[in-house]
Chains A and B, each alone.
Chain A
Amino acid sequence: MEFNNYISESCVIEDNAVFLSGENSFILDDANFSEFSKAVYKKFEIEYPKFFKMDNLSKLAFLSAELLLKEVVQSNEQENDIAVVFANRSSSLDTDVKYQESIASKDNYFPSPAVFVYTLPNICIGEISIKNNLKSENAFFVFEEFPAEFMMHYANNLLESEKAEKVLCGWTELYKENYRAVVYLVEKTSSNSFSKEHNIETIKQLYTNTLWTL
């Protein structure tokens, strides 16, 4: 099976910096993730109050998807057949640890539904789907390292079987202050001058080289 699918957009968020299709679009020194994510939200003029209720993994995934999709999704009133396939290493462990702390103490026992719901890693996909009206294929996976080959085949299968028009793939890892998001959009045609062929080499380059230009 040979497919000529293309990567048309990418967004990388790491080390307090945002890179859109390889270009450094924002940087903030000396900030923790909470401050940094809020600054990104403001800088890119996102208006979505639900953002502030999200846990950090959802914030990271949401921002990376949002910055990429704002060029692609013109309106959330119409449907957008963009599948979302994400993976990471730490699942929802960042929130799991916080939730466990809230139930560990007999005297200060406080299980909160608003925290508990984020103890599932796929919630971040739900957040992105709600914001962009993506009634589309979705899946969340956990791997120790970014699974370039798996991601490529899974995305190709969704396009080839006509289960999705486009696929937003990504690595959205966050545990405490260590985080990294690399998301990219795969589609059947070469839609802009930056488009590159969707193959293992391109994906690995995108993943390992932040300043790589599409």
Chain B
Amino acid sequence: MKKNVYITASSCVTPLGFDVASNWDALQNNLSGIKKHQNIGQLESFYASIVDSNKLDLAFSKVESNHHFTKLEKMMILALKPLVEENKISKKTAFIFSTTKGNISLLEDKKVSVENAQLAALAKKISAYFGFEVEPIVVSNACVSGILAVSVAKRMIETGLYENAFVVAGDEVSEFVLSGFNSFQAMSAEPCKPYDANRTGVTLGEAVAAVYITANEDELKSNSFRIIGDGAVNDANHISGPSRTGEGLFRSIESAFKEAKLEKNKVKYISAHGTATLYNDEMEAIAFNRLGLQNVPVNSLKGYYGHTLGASGLLETVMAMESAKQNRLIVSKGYSDLGVSQEINVITDNDVIEMDYFLKTASGFGGCNTAVLFEKVS
């Protein structure tokens, strides 16, 4: 008999707030973290969703007097702290750590050893801070990392190797990543517009999200979510562009539904990837249509947070769970006219809707995709 695995607690640190409640309010009030910034490296001006360092330091000083941490580390500690205070760490507790570039900006400083930019070193530092007893599991699978980390937690708890898991996902805006997306000519000259006819590319962002995952039903709360199915299938098509048929995403979603034994019409909301590049959004629309999911309300949160890389999948799951708890949709910010070749139901009003099941998806470089189905526990 397969174990049931649940998310029972969540938190996040973003430019819109340092807890879930303030982020939810910001989203309902249509606020965005995206602002114009000047002069990072060779980039004169660009839009990005960046956490204010002064606000972060102030919030951080209330939980920790030692300030020898990078910005990303501070965000991670701040996000994990409330979860670790509420839930116990044991020898059977996994620490799953999702990031694409971690402390990559340390490479800019010639005085710092390259070793410090290792993802495992960052994971170890956070792990040691909270006293996790087992080796951290670092998931680094491009832009699906954050949601794949949820999948990994579920799978590893199912095997019995762990009883529960803390999952943290974070990335920061760095010159490294900005210049890279710029070199692909994938950056939007204005705040990104997922699924819109006038979309011109990605806006980058930084954030950290964290969840606590357990198989122990005694730990369930009124608004817990069961992870009922998941899949992470590769396109086998191109390393830097999505499959034109959405094959990997299609199969990831199919795999999740098959495992969940859920009828597709039960899903009331899709929290999609929606990076606002021409190809990604088009690919998602094709995959959703192939699955008959084109009428399900769908949004991308990139218009609020930008693309937060390895954090995005988990951050968007945290806000999707909040949406399901409140039974209220989140408007897909930046969208006004359909800009994909096949109809999809992009959310334009924060309607009240009974939401027992939702689907989270993501896709990324390397042809990777992930889909996870969630059920609200009543």
Residues on A with C-beta less than 8 A from B259 are 161, 163
Residues on A with C-beta less than 8 A from B142 are 120, 122-123
**B338 within 8 A of partner (CB):** no
Count, chain B residues at interface, CB 8 A: 56
Contact B118 A119 (CB under 8 A): no
| CB closest residue in chain A, given B41 | A103
Contact of B184 among A1, A113, A144 (CB under 8 A): A113
* Residues 218-255 of B contacting A (Cβ, < 8 Å): 231-240, 247-248, 251, 255
The smallest beta-carbon distance between B153 and chain A, in angstroms, is 12
**A97 within 8 A of partner (CB):** yes
Q: A122-B368, A126-B367, A141-B137 are in contact. Are A149 and B234 (CB under 8 A)?
A: no
Interface string of A130-146 (1 = CB under 8 A from B): 10111111111111110
Q: A103-B176, A111-B183, A147-B135 are in contact. Are A137 and B42 (CB under 8 A)?
A: no
| CB closest residue in chain A, given B230 | A163
**Number of CB contacts from chain A to chain B under 8 A:** 165
| CB closest residue in chain B, given A124 | B366
The smallest beta-carbon distance between B365 and chain A, in angstroms, is 5
**A42 within 8 A of partner (CB):** no
* Residues 326-372 of B contacting A (Cβ, < 8 Å): 364-368
Count, chain A residues at interface, CB 8 A: 53
State the CA gap A78–B361 with chains docked (Å): 27
**B283 within 8 A of partner (CB):** no
The smallest beta-carbon distance between A85 and chain B, in angstroms, is 10
State the CA gap A178–B158 with chains docked (Å): 36
| CB closest residue in chain B, given A132 | B236
Interface centre among B135, B140, B364 (most CB of A within 10 A): B140
Contact A154 B120 (CB under 8 A): no
| CB closest residue in chain B, given A126 | B366
| CB closest residue in chain B, given A121 | B140
* Residues 117-175 of A contacting B (Cβ, < 8 Å): 117, 119-123, 125-127, 129-130, 132-145, 147, 149-150, 153-154, 156-158, 161, 163
Q: SS class of chain A's interface: helix, strand, loop or mixed?
A: mixed
| CB closest residue in chain A, given B366 | A126
Contact A142 B365 (CB under 8 A): no
Contact A138 B183 (CB under 8 A): no
Q: A113-B184, A126-B239, A156-B159 are in contact. Are A141 and B138 (CB under 8 A)?
A: yes
Contact A154 B367 (CB under 8 A): no
The smallest beta-carbon distance between A199 and chain B, in angstroms, is 14
Contact A90 B183 (CB under 8 A): no
The smallest beta-carbon distance between B340 and chain A, in angstroms, is 23
* Residues 176-235 of B contacting A (Cβ, < 8 Å): 176, 179-180, 182-184, 231-235
State the CA gap A99–B159 with chains docked (Å): 39
State the CA gap A95–B155 with chains docked (Å): 31
Interface string of B146-164 (1 = CB under 8 A from A): 0010001001101111000
State the CA gap A104–B107 with chains docked (Å): 10
Residues on A with C-beta less than 8 A from B32 are none
The smallest beta-carbon distance between A152 and chain B, in angstroms, is 9
The smallest beta-carbon distance between A140 and chain B, in angstroms, is 5
**B325 within 8 A of partner (CB):** no
Contact B152 A135 (CB under 8 A): no
Residues on B with C-beta less than 8 A from A116 are 179-180, 183-184
Q: A120-B366, A150-B137 are in contact. Are A135 and B124 (CB under 8 A)?
A: no
Interface residues in chain B, defined as those with a beta carbon under 8 Å from any beta carbon in chain A? 41-42, 100-101, 104, 107-108, 114, 117-120, 123-124, 135, 137-142, 148, 152, 155-156, 158-161, 175-176, 179-180, 182-184, 231-240, 247-248, 251, 255, 259, 364-368
Please name 13 pairs of A and B residues whose Cβ atoms are closer than 8 Å in the assembled complex, sorted by A.
Answer: A1-B159, A90-B118, A100-B176, A120-B142, A121-B140, A122-B365, A126-B234, A126-B236, A127-B239, A130-B237, A136-B233, A140-B141, A157-B156
Known pairs A126-B236, A129-B234. 10 more at Cβ < 8 A?
A91-B119, A111-B180, A122-B142, A126-B238, A132-B236, A135-B247, A142-B118, A142-B120, A142-B140, A147-B135
